[in-house]
Chains A and B, each alone.
Chain A
Amino acid sequence: MNVVEIENVTKTFGSVTAVDELSLNVPKGCIYGFIGPNGSGKTTTLRMIMNIFYPDSGTIRTFGEEMKGTSTDRIGYLPEERGMYKKMKVRDLLKFYGELKSGRKVDKDVDYWLERLELSDWGHKKIETLSKGMGQKVQFISTIVAKPELIILDEPFTGLDPVNVEVIKDAVLDLRSQGSTVIFSTHDMNVADKMCDFIFMIFKGQKVLDGTLASIQEKYGSDTLRIRTEGGRSTLDNLEGVDRITDFGKLQELRIKLGFDHQEVLRQIMSRTQVYSFELATPTLYEIFLRIAGPEAKEQVDA
């Protein structure tokens, strides 16, 4: 069963088409990652699912129903920009948001989540006194405290240190295991790579990727040679059969031209320097993202 079904949805703002003929299905109980460069239409799509924006054409069904004009109590939403009353105390705010959505007392849930996210000591503090990261965690709790069936998180990891990123990731995985469906947008390909059951990439309002990570990588094939050498990046110039080199410092990724033998490339490198290790790999999500939305893609479009 699909929790969200988007069919041929278009949304324009003046002369700008933010989302163009988009179709997408989000199955129940999965984690769906929305990726795409800034201004590509991720947030607009999320807001349309939330009924904050209505599509110009096409239909959006959540839980099998078109919900135009109604509030969406079964969905928890964490907006990209934080929306909290600065003068309210943390615990009061969480209770207010939770009870407004669920219509029941949520004191126990608030206590549980404050403790889990190490915010118990901050319950009586005003929102305006919190750091950006803490504010982000409070906003996250406010989104999930009412136990919604569908959780939509727009850039949930922004402003968090690595420890807190892990804390939120664990919480999201737990919620999924308890039956919630999670949609989140992110710029962090590592997070999307590791957490998502499905990945959807939108670019200039259009869907360019949709599926499991494995199916996406399969589409791009094993065209990447990941290599560590003594000479490093400087010894890899002007190799025959190499389209592009991505330098990670101690490690380089070489994209092999379509139809060219990777063994031949390896031989050329070994003749120049000592090879410590190599691996023939599928491109990472990061690499695929850059191929679609990076300068290389722009060069191809311009050409």
Chain B
Amino acid sequence: MHKTLRFIKREYLAAVKTKGFIIMLVLMPVLMGGSGIAMYLLQGQVDTKDKRVVIVDRSGIVADMVLKAAEQRNAAAVFDKETGKKVRPAYVFETAEPDVTDPQAQRLELSERIRKGELHAFLEIGQNVLHPEGDPSTFQIKYHAKNAAIDNVRNWLNNTINPYLRKIRLSEEGIEESKADEIMTWIQVDAMGLVSVDEETGAIKEARKTGEAEAILVPVVLFFLMFMLVMMGAMPLLQSTMEEKTQRIAEVLMGSLQPHQFMAGKVLGGLLVSLTGALVYVAGGVFFLGRMGLRDLIPFHVIPWFFAFLILEIVMVGSILAAFGSACNDPKDAQNLTFPAMFPVFFPMFVFMPVLTEPTSAFATWLSMFPLFTPMLMVIRKAAPVGIPAWQPWVGLVGVLLFTAFIVWIGGRIFRVGILMQGGPPKLSNMIKWSFRG
């Protein structure tokens, strides 16, 4: 077996034959999209303790309606119809006469009851809520609770009281209730794709409804997947090269390997690690989306581009990291060089939102043509529902191919000198010198 292949094999197995790799393979997507998945999984975990709320209704028209609406809600939503298990809290409202002489004292007393845990909240309804005119304090609705800003009861009250008041206002104008429902109907503007001709039949195909998943989720998932795979395959090269140097492993290896074989082994080993991860995620994604009947969401036309750009990104960033690692003499040096080395990956993270929302803008186009950022930004643009001109990914690909070749060449020259140079922190001036002199 060729020496470089032997070294690639060692690097690859050293990375993937660890529990850490398996854990990372599972944890990475969880961490990246983690909060969303966690929220989805944990959404059933709600506090089912009843929420007691006192209503101080100065208008005299809202409290009764709220009590009735709460009864209906509690009957319909609190218990699971099949299992009979309590799945949501009941909203239990009671009314209190407004204290006209000293409203502050009443507020304090109710607040104390909340503090003691007897109540969840209290609601004050201004006297002019039906016809909000004049002094704003007379038509406000105030919800007092320990954490009022994030509170489901408050949301429910909002969505219950306002339609009710609107209906009364409409009926005062002589509009009957059935008409009022029609007046208040809200129609959503649907997001649609473009109409095209079916290649087989020649008929004009219906435009597909574009969901948020397609518009945002697919490009974002591919973008973050590439980020993750760079972190998985290329990022460790900085640390491992530094360790091989400081632990004198490099000295032993250089008795058997040429410097370029050494660096190629490291970068290509890292590439294989990333490709392993990519295959697992892409194959897994295709399989599960297929099983879930969401095959339409799979961007098959982007996947070859994704792999082409991923390979170039890993080779480019991996070469930079290996070269930087060879110039380091301790973990602190490596830490200091991490950010500059990872710039081609971090920068697209800062700009991915504007690129995603306007993939054809001059900003997105030119930035994605800059070879350092091409792989990540071109993938996001290619995956966006808005079509980008067909020539752009090709030009980007050629650009990044040439640039990667250049980076590998420069990186190889730095690596050759740096890997055996002991002592002294890694200086940019030294690295430039090594890259010119070799």
Contact = CB atoms under 8 A, between A and B. Distances in A.
Contacts of B249: 83-85
A142 B10 contact: no
A50 B250 CA distance: 13
Contacts of A103: 1, 3
A52 B254 contact: yes
B252 A79 contact: yes
Q: DSSP class of A's interface residues: helix, strand, loop or mixed?
A: loop
Interface string B246-281: 011111111111100100000000000000000000
B251 A73 contact: no
B6 A76 contact: no
Contacts of B401: none
A100 B7 contact: yes
A101 interface: yes
Contact of B248 (A72, A73, A83): A83
A71 interface: yes
Contacts of A157: none
A82 B248 contact: yes
A76 B14 contact: no
Contacts of A52: 251, 254-255, 420
A26 B285 CA distance: 63
A263 interface: no
B255 A77 contact: yes
Interface string A67-87: 001111101110101111111
A71 B258 contact: yes
A101 B252 CA distance: 10
A97 interface: yes
A79 B251 contact: yes
B254 A88 contact: no
A287 interface: no
Nearest to A13: B423
A84 B253 CA distance: 10
Interface string A98-139: 011101000000000000000000000000000000000000
Contacts of A86: 247
Interface string A38-75: 00000000010011110000000000000001111101
A156 B252 CA distance: 14
Contacts of A72: 255
A71 B251 contact: no
B257 A83 contact: no
A141 B251 CA distance: 16
Contact of A100 (B250, B251, B256, B420): B256
Contacts of B257: 71, 100
Contacts of A82: 247-248
Contacts of B254: 50-52, 71
A83 B254 CA distance: 11
Interface in A1-55: 47, 50-53
A103 B3 CA distance: 7
Contacts of B18: 87
A80 B255 CA distance: 14
A81 B6 contact: no
Interface string B1-16: 1010011001000100
Looking at B6, B249, B257, the one whose CB has the most chain A CB atoms below 10 A away is: B249
A86 B6 CA distance: 19
A83 B420 contact: no
A73 B252 contact: no
Given A83-B249, A85-B14, A70 B258 contact: yes
B268 to A, nearest CB: 15
A190 B347 CA distance: 62
B10 A83 contact: no
B252 A71 contact: no
Contact of A87 (B1, B14, B258): B14
A150 to B, nearest CB: 11
Contact of B253 (A70, A73, A100): A100
Shortest 3 CB-CB contacts between residues of A and residues of B:
A83-B248, A83-B252, A83-B249
17 contacts: A47-B251, A52-B420, A71-B258, A71-B261, A72-B255, A77-B252, A77-B255, A83-B248, A83-B249, A84-B247, A87-B14, A88-B14, A97-B252, A97-B256, A99-B6, A100-B3, A100-B253
Interface of A: 47, 50-53, 69-73, 75-77, 79, 81-88, 96-97, 99-101, 103, 142
